[in-house]
Chain A
Amino acid sequence: MRPIVAALAIAIGTLAPASAMAESSSMAVEHAWARATPKAATTGAAYVTLVNNGTGDDRLVGASTPVAEKVQFHSETNENGVMKMRQLLTLDVSPAAPVVLKPGGIHMMLVGLKQQLKEGQALPLTLTFEKAGSIGTTARVGKIGAMEDPDPHADGGE
């Protein structure tokens, strides 16, 4: 009995990385941008487009930036004229469709801003995916209340 269990364990052990490799997602983080923040604001918002060029599903599990204490993912819905924000712990990114974070929709909330974000600044942002690991990018800071990437033609990921 014992050898069978051992064999099984080894088999599963070798399978796991193999399957991970087969599904290794090549994740592209595009159109990273943020909004300038009003004076005295302790929160900010940043947006990205996530494109999963791999074959398997992946999941955004965390994000960070040196200018904020933490970064949360929020959904935003307008129900009967009431804006509701809810925290999302993770964001699924399937190869089927890019996930677009945008004003009025899913956004990254920068909580505990250490400085005011000003138009034209470049904000370092690190996104962590379950499979693709950590990906660093730079978010362009647009105007306060901007509705889109200040430079939509720039290459987002690099």
Chain B
Amino acid sequence: MTRGMKWALGLLLVFLVFDAVALTIVLRARRSSVVALSGKVVRSGTAAIGGPFALTAADGHTVTEQTYRGKWMVIYFGYTFCPDACPTALSNMSIALQKLGREADKIQPLFITVDPKRDTRQVMSAYLESFDHRIVGLVGTQGQTDAVARAYRVYFELHKEGGDNYLVDHSAYFYLMGPDGKFVDVVEGATPSDQMADQLRKLIDEQSSQD
């Protein structure tokens, strides 16, 4: 073996080791980003869920994380093409809001689409007419949508194999953000409305008594 060949082999080895390390890091990072969403894990940590975002409401208004400061934001990420989970979550929230009575005034429910290609402002606004009118629908560009999903650690994945009728895997939670904009807890979308109202009331009362 010539010196040149030895040198080349050594270099190759270095590259291979580098690749293996890099791959491991990437895979780890990916796995943790998915795991990050199991509710209890999120709550116990000081995970920075939330952050700046800029989206557009159905009426054309720009809505940012500052717009509803002082209120509790209850945010659901979904899409109008979703036949089962999203209507369940939004109708549970609608009934819960009615059950909360005056307490609901402290809450700003938001429905952010993860499917901005199909969910235009017009579609969102018509869709939400069928639910409690306090729920505000928000749409962004693909970039804005990706950014808000990243900020809230929301997982979503489009399955384009079905052509135009594609489905979207998405987080099944409402994210509850305190009046200071900080993340407080998640409430599962499938929670029956009675329970959801109780859970929201309890979380809000708990937090207010701490202040």
* Interface residues in chain B, defined as those with a beta carbon under 8 Å from any beta carbon in chain A: 34-35, 37-39, 80-85, 87-88, 90-92, 94, 122-123, 126-131, 155, 162, 165, 167, 169-173, 186, 188-190, 192
Given contacts A38-B90, A39-B127, 16 further A-B contacts (CB under 8 A): A37-B87, A40-B80, A40-B126, A41-B87, A74-B167, A80-B35, A81-B186, A82-B155, A82-B169, A83-B171, A83-B189, A86-B167, A109-B84, A144-B91, A145-B91, A145-B94
* Interface residues in chain A, defined as those with a beta carbon under 8 Å from any beta carbon in chain B: 35-45, 74, 76, 78, 80-87, 103-104, 107, 109-112, 143-147
Taking a contact as CB atoms under 8 Å apart, the answer to whether A80 and B34 are in contact is: yes
The residue in chain B whose Cβ has the minimal distance to the Cβ of A44 is B83
Query: Taking A38-B128, A39-B126, A143-B91 as contacts, is the C-beta distance between A81 and B85 under 8 angstroms?
Result: no
Cα distance A144–B169 when bound, in Å? 21
Cα distance A82–B39 when bound, in Å? 11
Taking a contact as CB atoms under 8 Å apart, the answer to whether A103 and B80 are in contact is: no
Taking a contact as CB atoms under 8 Å apart, the answer to whether A82 and B172 are in contact is: yes
Residues of B within 8 A of A83 (CB): 85, 169-172, 189
Taking a contact as CB atoms under 8 Å apart, the answer to whether A78 and B172 are in contact is: yes
Taking a contact as CB atoms under 8 Å apart, the answer to whether B83 and A45 are in contact is: yes
Cα distance A110–B83 when bound, in Å? 8
Taking a contact as CB atoms under 8 Å apart, the answer to whether A109 and B170 are in contact is: no
The residue in chain B whose Cβ has the minimal distance to the Cβ of A84 is B169
Cα distance A110–B82 when bound, in Å? 11
Residues of A within 8 A of B85 (CB): 76, 83, 85, 104
Residues of B within 8 A of A112 (CB): 165
Query: Taking A81-B186, A83-B172 as contacts, is the C-beta distance between A107 and B127 under 8 angstroms?
Result: no
Taking a contact as CB atoms under 8 Å apart, the answer to whether A39 and B171 are in contact is: no
> Which of the residues B92, B122, B167 comes within 8 Å of A85, measured between beta carbons?
B167
> Which of the residues A39, A43, A86 comes within 8 Å of B82, measured between beta carbons?
A43
Instruction: Please provide the 4 A-B residue pairs with the shortest distance between their CB atoms, ordered closest to farther.
Output: A145-B91, A40-B126, A38-B130, A45-B83
Taking a contact as CB atoms under 8 Å apart, the answer to whether A103 and B127 are in contact is: no
Residues of A within 8 A of B94 (CB): 145
Residues of A within 8 A of B155 (CB): 81-82
Q: How far is the CB of A141 from chain B (nearest CB, A)?
A: 13
